[in-house]
Amino acid sequence: MDSLFHFVFALVGGYVFVKAVGFESRLLFLVLLALLSEFPDVSHLMGNLALLHNIFIFVPLLLLFLFFHKKGKKNLQIYMATFMIMVYGHLLADMIFGIGIPLFFPLSAEFYLIPQMGLCMYDSSFPHIMYGSNLVECFFAPSGVALTLYFGVIGILALVKNYFFSK
Ligand SMILES: [Zn+2]
């Protein structure tokens, strides 16, 4: 996915999240975090996208989140959670089309994509399951599924915020 899409996806997701948890963030910080959340694409410059397009990049981020939790730094915790959401959105967006990403690298080199199928209208009045990359006029297709997974997780995290943010 292109950098502009990643940036906007991250910024909107981050904005929705901080609003949903009732946190007053400066927009500039969200813009900076959205820019930083493009970091997995540095691995393209290194010639191997696998390096930063896998779920294990969340380990250091999660450790930092827990560190801020232990220290009772609620603001930093919320910024860290926002950043992790943005990075999650990055990986998700890279799974909408193309070759996908090796989610479990280095444990597995297999690439994963959101299933390339949809429930679509095409040459018929009845919607039917279609496969491939030209999924148009669909009730659901990979792009919609990605949006649902992204904002669904943001919504769930906002609902359970009291359990993981310091008081
Ligand atoms: Zn990427």
pLDDT band at 151 (very low <50, low <70, confident <90, very high): very high
pLDDT value of residue 167: 63
- Return the bridge partners of 101, or none: 112
Distance (Å, whole) CA 78 – CA 60: 16
33 CA → ligand 1 middle, Å: 15
pLDDT band at 128 (very low <50, low <70, confident <90, very high): confident
Between 134 and 144, the more confident residue is: 144
Lowest mean pLDDT among 16-30, 36-50, 95-109, 127-141: 127-141
Average pLDDT for 41-65: 94
53 CA → ligand 1 middle, Å: 7
pLDDT band at 133 (very low <50, low <70, confident <90, very high): confident
Please report the DSSP string for 97-148 in residue order: STT-B-TTTTT----B---SEEEE--SSSS-EEEESS---SEEE-HHHHHHH
Bridging pattern class, strands 138-140 and 117-120 = antiparallel
- pTM, to two decimals: 0.93
27 CA → ligand 1 middle, Å: 23
Average pLDDT for 1-6: 95
Task: State pLDDT tens for residues 7-43.
Answer: 999 999 999 999 999 999 999 999 999 999 999 999 9
21 CA → ligand 1 middle, Å: 27
Residue 124 has pLDDT above 70, yes or no: no
**What six digits make up the tokens of 84?**
């992790």
2 CA → ligand 1 middle, Å: 8
Task: Please name the residues in contact with 54: beta carbons below 8 A apart, sequence gap of 6 or more.
Answer: 101, 102, 103, 104, 105, 106
Cis omega (within 30 of 0) for bond into 142: no
Bridging pattern class, strands 117-120 and 128-131 = antiparallel
- Angle of helix 74-93 versus helix 142-159 axis, rounded to 10: 170
pLDDT value of residue 137: 84
Q: Give whole-number Cα distances, 38 to 2, 13, 72, 135, 166, in Å.
A: 10, 14, 28, 27, 28
Query: Amino acid identity, residue 6?
Result: H
pLDDT band at 162 (very low <50, low <70, confident <90, very high): confident
Distance (Å, whole) CA 40 – CA 9: 15
Query: Amino acid identity, residue 131?
Result: Y
164 CA → ligand 1 middle, Å: 28
1 CA → ligand 1 middle, Å: 6
pLDDT value of residue 101: 96
Residue 81 has pLDDT above 80, yes or no: yes
